[in-house]
Structures are given as C-alpha cells and as structure tokens.
Amino acid sequence: MKNMEPQDITLTVNGRNHEIKVVPRRLLVDALREDLRLTGTHVGCEHGVCGACTVLVDGRPQRACLTYAIQMEGHEVATIESVDHEGRLSVLQQALHEEHGLQCWFCTPGIVMTFEAFLRQNPAPDEEAIREALSGNLCRCTGYQNIVKAIQKAAARMRPEQI
C-alpha cells in the first residue's frame, strides 16, 4: 500500500533538525533510539504503562512508545539528552543523585522528563501532587520514597527565592 511506504520527515529533537526516512508506523521511541542514536530514552512496556519512554513534546510529557515519529513533524521533541547543562546535572538530576532516587536507573530518564515539565508548572507541589504525577512512571527498585524526596529537594532549589 502506498501510504505505508517510507517517507522523508524532519524530526526536531533537542533543538536540532534531523531528516530521516520512516515508515508511517515507526514509533517515535524507535526513531529516537535507532535512527538518531539517542538511547537515553528507554523502552519498557511498549504500551504506555511504565513511563520509561517519556519525552517532552512541545514541553509536555508524552509516551514515545505510543507516538508515531511521523506525527512529530512541526513539533519540538526534547529527550533526556537535553537536560544537563554543558555536562552538569540539572537541579532535578542532582537531587536524585543526592537522595539516592535511583538504583538501576532504567526508569530514571522518564521520571526526569516528567518532572522537568511538572516542576515548571508546579514550583511548590505538595507530596500528594508529586505522588500523583509520579504514578505514571513505574520504578521497580526504589520504593519511590527517595524519588519523592529528591523531587521535593529539586522543587525547593528551583523556586525563585532560592536563586
């Protein structure tokens, strides 16, 4: 079928344009990892449950395993590779490190992307709001306690009065 043939698209990822050829059913997560070699975005369940594949699309968290690459033309995708600042961990990454908010780190890129967006929208979240937002990202190692502590620490450091 003609409409299933590979098509040339431009993916804008972390501020750079990439011209790639994809079949329409090519998933964004596969295009990121295999075509662009941006392997920081992980693939877990592949059906929208675990959150490991979370990236930002136009600043909002989105499951890259439920998104076709071809849908991303005209949109800005941000991956975990965009989060550090010239090799320095982001405030949230640093807090996760300090609070031992990761073990195997398989879930971590998705959590970081979810909360980079969340903390911009919610600079002073209470614990309930953090846990509600975290419910979309599964972690099999940590028990979540230290992740929550890390997010609280990052939120406190990111609030304007801390600068």
Interacting residue with ligand FES among 23, 49, 124, 129 (CB under 6 A): 49
Q: Interacting stretch for ligand FES, rule CB under 6 A, among 9-17, 78-86, 91-99, 100-108?
A: 100-108
Q: Interacting stretch for ligand FES, rule CB under 6 A, among 14-22, 104-112, 123-131, 148-156?
A: 104-112
Q: Interacting stretch for ligand FES, rule CB under 6 A, among 3-11, 38-46, 80-88, 125-133?
A: 38-46
Interacting residue with ligand FES among 20, 43, 148, 156 (CB under 6 A): 43
Q: Is 77 in the site for ligand FES (CB under 6 A)?
A: no
Q: Is 27 in the site for ligand FES (CB under 6 A)?
A: no
Residue in 53, 99, 47, 55 with CA at minimum distance from that of residue 78: 55
